[in-house]
Structures are given as C-alpha cells and as structure tokens.
C-alpha cells in the first residue's frame, strides 16, 4: 500500500504549533512507509491569503526539517479543475443551483435561533422544478447531501465514526462568484494528488463526512482518514493565533532548537513505551498512528524547555554552535569573530545552565561585553579584604606566561590559606570582578576563557 500524505494549510495566518504537529505526523507516516509527503497551500480565500504567511509556513516547516516532496502545490492554480468537477456534479445530478439570497439565509438562521432549533439549510432549491428563478441573482452551487441513512468513517485514530446524514446540510461547493469552496477544492486536489491518507486535526471530522460524499458521488477512491486530537492552549481551549507562544516563530525567538520542538510535538498525543527522546530517525522508525491518543493534549512550555535543555546538552558542540550563531545573528547583535571563537571554546560550560539558546547567549554576556556592570548586591560583597585578595591574585597572575588550570590552582590555594578563607572567599570576588555577578561559570573557566590582559584589565578596574 502506498502512502501519499499531505499537509494543507491555508496561508491566512502564521502557522501555529498544532498545524506543525499535523504536518509532522503526516511527514512521519510518509517517511516510515517510504511514501510521499506533499505540501499544498490552500489559498482559495483570496481576501485573507497572504504571501507572507505562505512563506512563513514554508520557512517554519523547513526549519523543523519537515521537507516536502516536489514543489508546493498552490491550490488556487487548480480552480479550473475544481469548477469542472462542480459542473460534472451538477450534470450528474449530485449538485444543484441555489438561488437563495444571503438575506434569505440569514433570516432563516435568525428564525431558528429564536425558536432554539438548529439551523440547517432547508434545501429549498434541491428539487425546485416549480420555483421561478430570480433574475439579478447569481446562484451558489450546493452539493446534494444524503438525506437519510448514516455515514461511517473508519478513522485510523478515532476508530469507527458514525453520523446521521440528516445532520449534514447541502453544503456549498461553488460560491456565487463561481469560485470553489474548501470542501470541493480539497477533495478534488486530494484526489488528483493521489492522497492515500488524510491526516488532519479533529476539527475536520465533519468535513470528512462531507467530502466522503463527494468522493462517492464521483466514484473516486476514498482515502484513509485519521483525525488527530487538537492541541489545547494552557487554558484548555483550541489553540488560536491569539495564544502567546503558539507560532513557530515564537519558539525560534525563545531559542528553541528544531529537534527539541520536533521531539516535543512528537510526544504530544503520541507515545512509544516509556521513551521520551527520539532522534529523527527513531521517530520515523517508531511512529505509528496506533500510538496516537484520542484526547486533546495541553501545551506545556516547561516541557518544551526541558526537552530543549536535553538537546542542548547532548548534541555536538559544532551543531549547537551553529544553532547559536543563527539565533544570535537573527535576534541579537551580531558577534565579531574573536568573541565568536571564545564562545565556541567556552560552549561546554556556557551551555551548562541553559534551557534555551537565549540562556547560552545570556551566559556569554561576560564575554560579549567590554564593560562589566556590577550589581549593587554584588558590589557590597567586595570588601577591603576581597580587594586585597584580588590585588594579590593579579600580581601572581601577571607572572604566568600561559595561564592554565594547573598553574592557576596553586595561586588560588595559596590565597585561600594566606587569608584563612575558603574557595568561595577567593572565587567570589574574582567572579564578581570578571563577570559582574556572584553567579556564573566556574572561576577557572572564566579566567581561562578570557584573554590574559582582559582578565587583568577587569580585575584592576577597582
């Protein structure tokens, strides 16, 4: 069996994390089964579709390493075919022209609302032999949805889903301006692209029932469906663009690395035993629709940070550095080459208490800045005795031709015993002078990461 999957977002807003997970699951399934994964931009809403969103979608998926086969399909380029199919449905009697004005429809809706009954289009023009066709009114084309019976979809995630056909109205497939609607375009394109598995959010469930009828009417092969549960915001509602930190861009800005987000999304609504960390290849090998749960899952930012931390700590230094560089160049001030080298060499300890790339950047501030700012609290910690210690350290430090941990250690130890103090008594004032805070990397790491004369310069600046 071939697996042709697709992700079909509309470019009417920035791609959010729910959409990304849908794309990921489609991609995973295609990869696992050596099938294809296509990207289709559903831009038939001319009013709201924007090129910038299309670009954002493509960039986001690209950033995550979810790459599609072939060029992206642009749905609007295929409207001629969509309309042709509508005509065919019309000709075969599966669709009809409806001359109800929008006012008329709205009136009906109002009426239903007042009576407290659910609105469903009254199918006035479905078999309208006797009705007089109004002039000056462009009709819409509606699909003749089944009136009786039930439709069953064997959903790969949700199991058997059954709905009474009477609850599905005669939905519009062609607007009054003759443009196709989503139900038509998506079905025609999925068919044309040979999509075998339609994996999308659970909010599309009802659409699958509608679209199945179109497939059946045309005698097309109905694809497999899988409706994956939605991702909820921390408030427990469907994710919307208003929720902060829901677009990929937001996560990139926080300094999340692609693999970490991919891993997080993978484990949101899907699991494999007790395994938490999956390489890309592992996720392809192990992914399975059977492992997808049925209930919606809530976004948990602390989990994203935690997984990101794991990745920061375990990926190769060079890889991490590249991510950091990309991040800093985009969101922070570009680094000059000499600082870049220091940061690269110091990455092993700079990444230590970092959950994000931004944390690493913050940890590296003492390297980046040329002027150390010492906070009030920290300033207070440098008393007269500390100043003495610092001065004595400088004298010994200046003698070193090439500072190393080996030749630094005796100096510190001597200072500790001469001043009857502990490591903290010596390390703390030095750290404050060198990085501007009593918190920071290990004191040897700090000293060795900076150039010798820079260390002296900072320490002398009393």
Partner RNA sequence: GGUCCCAUCGUCUAUCGGUUAGGACACAUGGUUUUCAUCCAUGAAAGAGGGGUUCGAUUCCCCUUGGGACCGCCA
Q: Name the residue nearer to RNA (CB basis): 69 or 202.
A: 202
> Hey, which residues does 172 pair with through a beta bridge?
142
Question: Which residue in 35, 108, 18, 25 sits closest to 69, CA to CA?
Answer: 35
Residues in 119-158 at the binding interface with RNA, rule: CB under 7 A: 119-120, 140, 158
For RNA, the binding residue among 32, 280, 353, 452 (CB under 7 A) is 353
Q: How far is the CB of 64 from RNA (least distance, A)?
A: 18
Separation in Å, CA 98 to CA 136, 143, 151:
13, 10, 24
Give 45 or 340: the residue with its C-beta nearer to RNA.
Answer: 45
Q: Is 72 in the site for RNA (CB under 7 A)?
A: no
Binders of RNA in range 228-247 (CB under 7 A): 230, 232, 236-238
Q: DSSP class of residue 460?
A: H
- Cβ partners under 8 Å of residue 413, min gap 6: none
Q: Is 260 in the site for RNA (CB under 7 A)?
A: no
Which residue, 181 or 196, is less far from RNA as judged by CB? 181
Which residue's CB is nearer to RNA, number 306 or number 365? 306
Asked if 81 is part of the footprint of RNA (rule: CB under 7 A), the reply reads: no
If phi > 0 it is left, if psi is from -120 to 50 it is alpha, else beta; for residue 333 that is beta
Is 93 among the residues that bind RNA (CB under 7 A)?
no
Q: In the window 177-216, what residues touch RNA (CB under 7 A)?
A: 177, 181-183, 185-186, 202-207
Of 360-419, binders to RNA (CB under 7 A) are none
Tokens of 54: 């299309």
Which region among 80-88, 263-271, 321-329, 374-382 touches RNA (by CB under 7 A)? 263-271
Minimum CB distance to RNA smaller for 31 or for 227: 227
Among residues 220, 187, 217, the alpha carbon closest in space to that of 204 is found at 187
Quick one: 130 or 177, whose CB is closer to RNA?
177
Does residue 390 contact residue 429 with C-beta atoms inside 8 Å? yes
**Helix H or strand E encompassing 20:** helix 17-32
B/e letters for 209-222, b = 16+ CB within 10 Å, e = fewer, are bbbbbbbebbebeb
Binders of RNA among residues 278 to 307 (CB under 7 A) are: 291, 293-298, 300, 302-303, 305-306
């Amino acid at each position: 069996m071939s697996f042709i999957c697709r992700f079909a977002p509309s470019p009417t807003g920035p791609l959010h994390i729910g959409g990304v997970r849908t794309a990921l699951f489609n991609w995973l399934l295609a990869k696992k089964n050596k099938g294809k994964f296509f990207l289709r931009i559903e831009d038939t809403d001319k009013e709201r579709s924007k090129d910038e969103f299309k670009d954002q979608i493509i960039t986001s998926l690209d950033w995550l390493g979810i790459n599609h086969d072939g060029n992206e399909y642009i749905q609007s380029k295929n409207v001629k075919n969509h309309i042709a199919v509508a005509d065919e449905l019309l000709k075969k009697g599966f669709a009809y022209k409806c001359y109800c004005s929008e006012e008329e429809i709205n009136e009906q809706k109002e009426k239903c609302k007042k009576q407290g009954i659910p609105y469903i289009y009254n199918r006035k023009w479905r078999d309208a032999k006797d009705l007089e066709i109004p002039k000056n009114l462009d009709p819409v084309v509606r699909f003749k949805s089944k009136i009786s019976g039930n439709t069953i979809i064997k959903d790969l995630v949700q199991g058997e889903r059954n709905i009474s056909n009477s609850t599905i109205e005669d939905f519009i497939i062609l607007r009054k301006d003759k443009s196709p609607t989503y139900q038509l375009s998506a079905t025609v394109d999925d068919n044309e692209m040979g999509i075998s598995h339609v994996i999308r959010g659970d909010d599309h469930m009802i659409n699958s029932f509608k679209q199945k009828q179109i497939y059946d009417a045309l005698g097309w092969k109905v694809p497999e469906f899988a409706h994956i549960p939605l991702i909820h915001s921390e408030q427990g509602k469907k994710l919307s663009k208003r929720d902060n930190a829901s677009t990929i861009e937001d996560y990139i800005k926080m300094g999340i690395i692609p693999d970490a987000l991919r891993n997080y999304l993978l484990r949101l609504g899907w699991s494999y035993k007790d395994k938490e960390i999956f390489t890309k290849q592992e996720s392809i090998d192990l992914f399975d629709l059977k492992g997808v749960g049925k209930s919606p899952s809530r976004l948990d930012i602390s989990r994203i940070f935690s997984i990101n931390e794991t990745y920061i700590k375990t990926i190769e230094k060079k890889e991490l550095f590249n991510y950091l560089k990309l991040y800093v160049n985009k969101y922070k001030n570009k680094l000059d080459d000499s600082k870049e080298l220091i940061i690269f060499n110091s990455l092993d300890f700079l990444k230590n208490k970092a959950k994000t790339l931004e944390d690493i950047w913050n940890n590296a501030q003492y390297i980046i800045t040329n002027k150390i700012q010492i906070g009030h609290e920290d300033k207070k910690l440098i008393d007269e005795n500390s100043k003495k210690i610092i001065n004595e350290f400088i004298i010994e430090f200046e003698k070193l031709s090439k500072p190393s941990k080996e030749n630094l250690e005796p100096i510190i130890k001597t200072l500790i015993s001469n001043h009857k103090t502990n490591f903290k008594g010596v390390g703390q004032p030095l750290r404050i002078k060198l990085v501007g805070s009593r918190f920071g990397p290990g004191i040897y790491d700090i000293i060795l990461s900076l150039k010798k004369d820079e260390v002296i310069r900072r320490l002398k600046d009393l």
